[in-house]
Amino acid sequence: MSKKIAVLVGSLRKDSYNLKVAKVFQQIAPASLSLNIIEIGDLPFYNEDIDVDTPPQSYNRFRQAIANCEGVIFVTPEYNRGLPAVIKNALDVGSRPYGKSVWSKKPAAVVSVSQGAIGGFGANHQLRQSLVFLDMPTLQQPEAYVGSINTAFDENGNINEKTKSFLSLIIDNYASWVEKLS
């Protein structure tokens, strides 16, 4: 039986490269994983005042979706040498109310995707800092910085073999990581 894995995409743009990479992961994932892209763009900024008696429905939907998964892959761009607010907000929503975090013990992978040459290094490591606190064991190798992503897809949306091969290495190692931790 395959493990349910949430995929969170840190770019909200309809045709984002990060979303394209997430979809490639869905296509090439081994049978031991079932990847589901979870919507995070509709989550209001975390505010304890609105999370008291009747949290927003999007908070409840998101928390339940993560709780039902056995691992999480983060596919994130880098904005101004850091992670996008939408990813940080999803982490905050999922970690509340205090003591009821949906993140704890879920194996994670961080894949940063950028048009730049360094592949989102800053966002990747900033996100990893939060995952340590959230008690999410995170895949260390291979390091997953995907640079120059704008050259990886052709005009029909097909990914080149070099990038696809690297993404296969990442998802295969993540599958082994998840299996090892279960």
Token output for 49: 């005042």
- What is the pLDDT, as a whole number, of residue 76? 97
The stretches in the chain having pLDDT less than 50 are none
Instruction: Please provide residue 99's backbone torsions phi and psi, each rounded to the nearest 5 degrees.
Output: 90, -5
pTM (predicted TM-score): 0.96
Token output for 24: 């490639």
- The burial of 146, by beta-carbon neighbours within 10 Å (0-12 exposed, 13-18 middle, 19 or more buried), is given as buried
Token output for 12: 């909200």
Residue whose structure tokens are 């109310």: 97
Q: Which domains does the chain have, with CATH numbers?
A: 3-181 (3.40.50.360)
- What is the pLDDT, as a whole number, of residue 116? 87
Task: In whole angstroms, give the CA distance from residue 2 to residue 30.
Answer: 9
Q: Any residues with CB less than 8 A from the CB of 20 and at least 6 apart, and which?
A: 153, 157, 159
- What is the pLDDT, as a whole number, of residue 5? 98
